[in-house]
Amino acid sequence: EGITAGKRFIDMSTVDEATSKEIATAVTAKGGRFLEAPVSGSKGPALQGQLVILTAGERALREEAQPCFDVLGKRTFFLGDVGCGARMKLVVNMVMGVNIVALSEGLALGTKGGLQGADILDVIKEGALTCPMYNLKGPKMLEGDFAPAFPLKHQQKDVKLAVALGEDVGQALPLAAAANEVFKRARVAGKSDEDMSAVFAAVRS
């Protein structure tokens, strides 16, 4: 509705590949132009213009939209045909989800075993495992600060979609499937609208 010949439609939502292709077909059937452009990054990077933008579809439309993307993000990727942007976003968010669950389990194991949470984070920070997400989320997790940057319910949804994509392409994802169950448990515990890192509260309970 509202799409007319020549109208440009850029979809920055996180959906599965099939949904993105359905939207693209509906838009182009009316003579519109379509580009998928999901992003990697949450509220903070968005406010700072530091998102990573994952485009796919009409390359010419990507070029036309680049000035807008330059305001929103630090880098824009063109990944190919419609559906590739959706796939990349699910891959990225799946890895993020598995990693935040792994950090949660590490902190839970260490602190219940008598280690100081801050020491665990410092050791991780000084080794090969260091990453911006751990450095940002870790201290807040120990403080119980789960103010939402990326709500847990959205993280769980993306991991679920990634697991479904794995089934579609014949790739087993045992870690992602296990992480999905942990996020589901956190949702049952009332953590849906808190930050995805609130999965820590469910892990250590």
Helix (H) or strand (E) holding 152: helix 152-169
Identity of the residue numbered 143: E
Contact at 8 Å (CB) between 151 and 145?
A: no
Catalytic machinery residues: 89
CA neighbor of 99 nearest in space, from 124, 127, 123, 133: 133
* 11: helix, strand or coil: strand
Here the tokens at position 83 are 């559906």
Here the tokens at position 181 are 């169950």
Phi and psi at residue 79, to the nearest 5°: -110, -5
Phi and psi at residue 175, to the nearest 5°: -70, -45
CA neighbor of 58 nearest in space, from 101, 24, 20, 17: 24
Here the tokens at position 175 are 């870690």
Compute the half-sphere exposure of residue 63: CA atoms within 13 Å on the CB side of its CA.
3
Helix (H) or strand (E) holding 39: strand 39-40
